[in-house]
Amino acid sequence: MGLQSKHMLGLQHTPAQDILTILDTAGAMKDIIRRDIKKVPTLRGRTVVTLFYENSTRTKTSFDLAGKYLSADTVGLSASSSSVRKGESLIDTARTVEAMGADVLVIRHPAAGAAEIVADNVRCSVINAGDGIHEHPTQALLDMFTIREYKGDFSGLKAAIIGDILHSRVARSNIWGLTKLGAEVSVAGPATLLPPEIEKMGVKVCTRVEEALAGADVVNVLRIQLERQKQALFPSLREYSRLYGINRERLGLAKEDAIVMHPGPLNRGVEIVKEVADSARSVINEQVTNGVAVRMALLYLLTGGEAVETAD
């Protein structure tokens, strides 16, 4: 059984069953990454084009490697070097890339809805690799895959998402995905970094970080985007760190076996201290590996692959 949609635009409209299919398939893909020879011929002759309108080394590299491990041809187009600079519209660029024979278009863009606009105008599959502050489904899928590795199941699980929720596509995608599979999600951050009416997405909203951390199984710490400091949405990094930074003491409020996650890159000493980021509770490096596995699963399933059960 494949997926219901030929695109992966976000988790809001992805059925729970499809999320589970992707996570199951990612398990098998992770086995490939662990091998000495990390290459299978599954996507030989398929072309994956990454179209990045925002700089992102890790997500782009993760997609590139995911494609290469499956033997797809991968090509990257960055907005700074392409015809975008010459004023070509997003739709025109996407149609041009498709006309060259792309099977999957992976797009990252600073404007919300960009991936959906592209999907509406091309015939190939489109993967949203982050659109503005809307969604970043592959990050949420890799977070969920990681959570499942450590916690086994989502139902009744308590997850806390800490930081700049307002500008976080990672938070939005995680909320949709986790709540669909039965987890209880709390979000915490300064009032100026909480989006309006987010409680209607089915989460508990806290301005005190301690409240969100209490009894948590999963602590997902978001990156404070330093460039946002210019807008003065919070008074200083110093005060942010004092009120919301995740340190040993605060982590003590969570369950003893709680895991700590972060989408990276880290601002050490701001949203998370070294002792936590590098502790045994941190699964941050595992997230990076799992990112490749989840993206391999998506490329495979979106190009018509059958779901694969995890070996164990």
- Sites of contact with other proteins (CB under 8 A): 12, 89-91, 109, 111-114, 116-117, 131-135, 169, 172, 195-198, 200-201
Closest separation in Å from C-beta 232 to other proteins: 12
Closest Cα partner for 42 from 263, 281, 305?
Answer: 305
Q: What are phi and psi of 309, to 5 degrees?
A: -80, 145
Closest Cα partner for 145 from 309, 24, 300?
Answer: 24
Closest separation in Å from C-beta 153 to other proteins: 27
Judged by beta carbon, residue 52 or residue 300, the one nearer other proteins is 52
**Strands, sheet with 204-206, edge to edge from the N-terminal-most edge strand:** 204-206, 184-188, 158-162, 218-221, 259-261
- Rounded to an integer, what is the distance from CA 257 to the centroid of its chain? 23
Closest separation in Å from C-beta 205 to other proteins: 11
Residues 132, 112: contact at Cβ < 8 Å? yes
Residues 42, 300: contact at Cβ < 8 Å? yes
Judged by beta carbon, residue 192 or residue 285, the one nearer other proteins is 192
Judged by beta carbon, residue 87 or residue 156, the one nearer other proteins is 87
Judged by beta carbon, residue 169 or residue 250, the one nearer other proteins is 169
Closest separation in Å from C-beta 104 to other proteins: 21
Any residues with CB less than 8 A from the CB of 4 and at least 6 apart, and which? 14, 15, 18
Q: How far is Cα 149 from Cα 291, in angstroms, rounded to an integer?
A: 13
Bridge partners, residue 246, by sequence: 272
Judged by beta carbon, residue 198 or residue 266, the one nearer other proteins is 198
Closest separation in Å from C-beta 110 to other proteins: 8
Residue 237 amino acid letter: L
Closest separation in Å from C-beta 189 to other proteins: 13
Judged by beta carbon, residue 55 or residue 89, the one nearer other proteins is 89
166 DSSP 8-state letter:
T
Q: What are the Cα distances from residue 310, in Å, to 33, 83, 252, 266?
A: 14, 42, 33, 31
Q: What are phi and psi of 176, to 5 degrees?
A: -60, -50
Judged by beta carbon, residue 109 or residue 180, the one nearer other proteins is 109
Closest separation in Å from C-beta 243 to other proteins: 22
